[in-house]
Amino acid sequence: MGSEHYFSASPSSPEQLRRIRVTLAGRELEVVTAGGVFSPDHVDAGTEVLLANTPPPPAGGHVLDLGCGWGPISLSLALASPHVTVWAVDVNERALDLVRRNAQASGLTNINAVRPEDVPDDVSFRTIRSNPPIRVGKNELHGMLQHWIPRLSERSDGWFVVQRNLGSDSLQRWLAATFADGYSVQRAATGRGFRVLRIRKHGSPPSEAIDVIA
């Protein structure tokens, strides 16, 4: 893609649609992907680690897939919990189009694939699941997390997978320092060079703190 990145709003690279077979939430699917989006040839290893190390989504309410790409996390959430509303959020219009196509092909009507500004301000999330775009840059990444994490519902968790050699430990420290009041941060799992970070938003009265792994 040259200087173009998967977090470009409107990729100028050829679309090059392709179909791949994947297993998500225990179901085999044929999905469509394309050039100019993240991991177009397979489910990314980090996403696989995240999906393998997070609990089932809640039975209802709103959930967020932040940086959805072609949709493996969104599809998994929607398949596992048919009564949740999944917000698949990305700045990449091509990725959003792919999520819509894949949701329709899979018979899923509970996915909203939208740009960040199109999520209503009054929506809060029972969980956030994300393989965030680390390569967008630290300032952009931090700003994104500072915007979305406070939109967790009380007593709800966000789960983020980050490659160890791309700064998972420093991101964990930043999360703990930035969200020190009313939140807990934990390294929940490790695998294949990735770390799954969990952040809980406590309620009033506070929910029980989660154990922190050093």
pLDDT band at 21 (very low <50, low <70, confident <90, very high): very high
Phi first, then psi: what are they for 194, rounded to 5°? Answer: -120, 155
Q: Count CB neighbours of 108 within 10 A.
A: 19
Lowest mean pLDDT among 10-19, 139-148, 177-186, 196-205: 10-19
75-100 per-position pLDDT tens digit? 999 999 999 999 999 999 999 999 99
Using alpha carbons, list the distances in angstroms from residue 41 to 27, 95, 180. 18, 13, 38
* Per-position b or e across 11-25, b if 16+ CB within 10 A of its CB: beeeeeeeeeebebb
47-76 per-position pLDDT tens digit? 999 999 999 999 999 999 999 999 999 999
Give the span between the Cα atoms of 78 and 118, in whole angstroms.
Answer: 19
Residue 1, pLDDT > 50, answer: no
